[in-house]
């Protein structure tokens, strides 16, 4: 049984930028522990000599002609944004007070 603590889940949630509630952290701690235990079995066969597969169908380098294609207009790119100033996406302060 792998040891997943609430602190681990809290740390992962920070990395993943999800503001989990205490209740969610508690639930996920148990679930993640069970899941990690269930997938441990792959280590039995994933030995040193096996090459990992990142892509199921081997393709060489994929190039295209270096020509300008159709792109979105600024208005199209901004069309789904929660907030923008007409030419740029608008977000709240990047840095907090302590930074």
Partner 1 sequence: MSDITHVSAAEIARSLAQGEISSVEVTTAYLARMEATEGVLGSFLARSSNALEVAAASDQARSRGETPSALAGVPIAIKDVLCTTDMVTTAGSRILEGWIPPYDATVVTKLRQAGMVALGKTNMDEFAMGSSTEHSGYHVTKNPWDITRAPGGSGGGSAAAVAARQAPVAIGSDTGGSIRQPAAFTGTVGVKPTYGGVSRYGVIALASSLDQVGPVSRTVEDAALLHDVIAGHDPHDSTSIPTPWPSMADAARKGSQAESLAGVRVGIVKQLVGEGISPAVKQRFDQAVDLISAHGGEVVEIDAPHCEYAVAAYYLVLPAEASSNLAKFDSVRFGLRVTPEGNPTVEDVMSATRDQGFGDEVKRRIILGTYALSAGYYDAYYGSAQKVRTLIQRDFAQAFEKVDVLLSPAAPTSAFPLGEKLEDPLAMWAGDLTTIPVNLAGIPGMSIPMGLAKDDGLPTGLQLMAPAYQDARLYELGATLERLITDRDGVMLSMTTPEVI
Contacting residues toward partner 1, per CB under 8 A: 8-9, 12-21, 24, 28, 31-32, 34-36, 38-47, 50-57, 59, 62, 64, 72, 76-77, 79-83, 89, 91-97
Residue 86: CB minimum distance to partner 1, A: 15
Distance CA(33)–CA(4), nearest Å, equals: 5
- Give min distance, CB of 24 to partner 1, in A: 7
Is 38 or 68 the residue whose CB approaches partner 1 more closely? 38
Minimum separation from the CB atom of position 90 to partner 1 (A)? 9
One-character DSSP codes across 39-92: HGGGGGT--TTSPP-S-SS--------S-------HHHHHTT-SSB-SSSB--S
């Amino acid at each position: 049984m792998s040891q997943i603590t609430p602190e681990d889940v809290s740390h992962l949630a920070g990395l993943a930028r999800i503001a989990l509630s205490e209740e969610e952290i508690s639930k996920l701690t148990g679930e993640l522990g069970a899941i990690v235990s269930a997938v441990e079995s792959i280590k039995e066969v994933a030995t040193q000599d096996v090459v990992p597969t990142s892509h199921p169908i081997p393709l060489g380098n994929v190039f295209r002609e270096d020509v300008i294609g159709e792109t979105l207009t600024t208005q199209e790119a901004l069309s789904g944004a929660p907030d923008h100033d007409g030419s740029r996406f608008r977000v709240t302060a990047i840095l907090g007070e302590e930074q």
